[in-house]
Structure 1
Amino acid sequence: MEENKIVFEVKTEEEGLKLRAYLKKVQRLSSRLIRGAALDGRLEVDDRRAKLNHIVKAGENISLNLAKKESQNIEPEKMDIKVIYEDRDMLVVDKQPGVVVHPTKSYPSGTLANGITYYFRKKGEDCIVRLINRLDRDTSGLIIVGKNQFAHMSLARDMKDKNFEKNYIAVIHGKMENEEGIIDLPIYRDREAGIRRVIDKRGQKSITRYKVVCDFKKDQLLKLTLETGRTHQIRAHLSYLGHPLYGDTLYGTEDDSQYIDRQALHAYRLKFPHPRGNGVMELRADIPQDIVDLIGKIK
């Protein structure tokens, strides 16, 4: 089927490269994808099976067949999945709080990946769950799943670029010193601290941009943009500055159970280039009711 193919037309300035170099340098495909497609016979030049040492010429059509038999050890489980966007390359869902993204030893079932596997099977789609981004169990919001190897590779690659925007909203204790700013503090995983991350010069560079959206009596609603994607980055950064999230039992110091029963953090917006070059995607997820209720109680 044509929808399972990606086709590139070689431009004049690109000819003379070997096919492997063309796909890697010009089309920015991963070595793993190139090698696997070549071995499986899923690479063609003008409808003929191609070898990686083929010298590309201007006007040639290089096609990559995305159809590939794959399996994954994730049991399908019926679950309410809130789909924000879907096409042949990706599925974007609004994850609810309290849901683990992927099976682990502690959570072998009941995860978002189990629910998405069921969703794909019900639709008759032979896809495995390729997560582009992840969220903590009690963080809600947008998660992207690549539906084929090419989409996963492209989205994962582009997520490291500044054109890939990840925005969150958070309700914090207290008020930031400035209306907007950049938090540039290294995050370190100290084995003695368990899953909790700490700010430490031994850690990885971690950058969070913030802007105050609403002022309440004592607290604030922030918009946050991640420039890096460390585990617990927003929670660790804000806690270190003395402004932990409402409901954050790991990084906070107060019992917020009367206000909200999870950290008040929601991944509400994603902006990124479509993997096939079909423009820029901008997707949003509504603020969950429990955060709306929290705001009503503290404003």
Structure 2
Amino acid sequence: MKSFQLNWVVEEGGVLLRDFFKEKTVSRSALTDIKYNGGKIMVNNKEVTVRSILQKGDKVRLVFPPESHSLSMQEEMIPLDIVYEDEHCLVLNKQPYIPSIPSRLHPKGTIANGLLFYYRKQGIDRTVHIVTRLDKDTSGLMLIAKHRYSHSLFSLQHQQKQVKRTYYAMVHGEIEKDFDVIDSPIARKEGSIIERCIHPDGQHAVTYYKVVKRFHDRSFVQLALDTGRTHQIRVHMSSMGHPLLGDTLYGGEKTKILRQALHSKSLQFFHPILEKTLYFETDIPDDIKYLL
């Protein structure tokens, strides 16, 4: 199986290796994991400690230990629509009706199960690191990190709102305003492990929407998130009196579509290792196109 490693050539001497790694955003926990779980810290092909002093032109190599996944999560041959892939991440177009990760209600048949199978076939010794998760019935683009190091970098970007996603949804009723901002805190609904609601003691949540097209009984909207709360779009649109078509949990009806009419259409992020911005876009699926 392929072990993941990072390689650098030192441009400026007299620097402690520990400080060099800090500059490269390699965390202390990652270095501890490498030290005690079978990884290697090398300079000029010799194993060293982080107390080593680097010289200009030194070749630094960091070999990460093998990653293991929970024994409760099984590999499954699940079709994956991979839009982009490199050594550090992949972007896939998730089909509806499939969960992102296993749960008590859905222990199998998830994107994560399919990724484990795909990794083994590719000879990649990793566990699953999902950066942007989607609800089971939501379709569209997801960002997956392929190792611990890229996961930490992408997660930091996500927390700093640098991972940009655009959604499209069909909602009940004609929305009056062409565009607006919904700024309402979201909390778990009392007595439910799934449902969320607007609550003054909830987590800060901000959604931007723009009406793309109006029909006599529904509106097609473009949405962007300033925060990433569970069910955020679904809860916010329902709170306006415009639940998503198909979203029976939040007041929608399944007369014209069998799942919430929500699609993650575009994804943009800065690739911290390739040092360039990547942008991806996918088609709206047929069941939402039908509503148009």
Matches of 1:239 and 1:5 in 2, distance apart?
46
Counterpart AA for 2:133: R
| Distance in 1 of aligned mates of 2:240 and 2:84 | 36
Which residue identity lines up with residue 205 of structure 1 in the other structure?
H
Aligned-pair distance for 1:267?
0.9
- Equivalent residue for 2:50? 52
In the alignment, the residues of structure 1 paired with residue 59 and residue 224 of structure 2 have an alpha-carbon distance, to the nearest angstrom, of 39
Return the offset for 1:3.
9.1
Q: Distance in 2 between matches of 1:229 and 1:156?
A: 12
Aligned 1:7-156 pairs, distance under 5 A: 7-12=7-12, 18-24=16-22, 26-39=23-36, 40-66=38-64, 68-73=66-71, 74-156=73-155
* Partner in structure 1 of residue 259 of structure 2: 262
Aligned partners of 2:59 and 2:161: how far apart in 1? 30
* TM-score, with length taken from structure 2: 0.89
TM-score (norm 1): 0.87
Verify the 8 A CA contact 2:3 2:125 in the aligned structure 1: no
**Structure 1 CA distance, aligned partners of 2:186 and 2:95?**
26
| Conserved? CA contact 1:38–1:50, under 8 Å | no
Q: Is the 8 A contact 1:38 1:52 kept in 2?
A: no
Give the C-alpha shift of residue 28 in structure 1: 2.0
Q: Tell me the secondary structure at the aligned position of residue 159 of structure 1.
A: helix
1:227-257 CA distances to partner (integer Å, 9 max, x unpaired)?
Answer: 21110011111111111111111111x5x32
What is the aligned length?
A: 290
Superposed counterparts of 1:214-225, under 5 Å: 214-225=213-224
**Residue type of the alignment partner of 1:151:** S
Moved more, 144-153 or 48-57: 48-57
Question: Shift of residue 287 of structure 1?
Answer: 0.7
Distance 1:211 1:29, change over 3 A: farther
Q: Provide the C-alpha distance between the structure 1 equivalents of 2:80 and 2:63, rounded to a whole number of angstroms.
A: 29
1:11-34 deviation line (CA, Å, top 9, x unaligned): 54xx6654334323x222233212
* CA shift in 2, pair 1:105/1:16, >3 Å: same
Alpha-carbon spacing, 1:59–1:216, altered in 2? closer, same or farther (3 Å): farther
Q: What do you get for the CA RMSD once the two structures are aligned?
A: 2.4
Residue identity over aligned pairs, in percent, reads: 36
Task: Quote the residue 1:239 is aligned against.
Answer: 238
**Aligned-partner SS, 2:159:** coil
Secondary structure at 1:220 match in 2: strand
Distance 1:76 1:110 in 2: 9
How far has the Cα of 1:57 moved from its partner? Answer: 4.8
Q: How big is the shift at 1:146? A: 1.7
After the TM superposition, which of the residue ranges 71-80 and 232-241 deviates more from structure 2?
A: 71-80
- Structure 1 gaps of 5+ residues are none
- For the 8 Å contact 2:173–2:216, the answer to whether it is kept is no
The match for 1:291 is 288
* In structure 2, C-alpha distance between the alignment counterparts of 1:9 and 1:208, rounded to whole Å: 43
In structure 2, how many angstroms separate the alpha carbons of the residues matched to 1:142 and 1:11? 38
> What is the CA–CA distance in structure 1 between the aligned matches of 2:2 and 2:66, rounded to whole Å?
14
Aligned partner of 1:248: which letter? D
What amino acid does structure 2 have at the position aligned with 1:114? N
| Alpha-carbon shift at residue 190 of structure 1 (Å) | 3.1
What is the alpha-carbon distance in structure 2 between the residues aligned to residue 203 and residue 21 of structure 1? 39
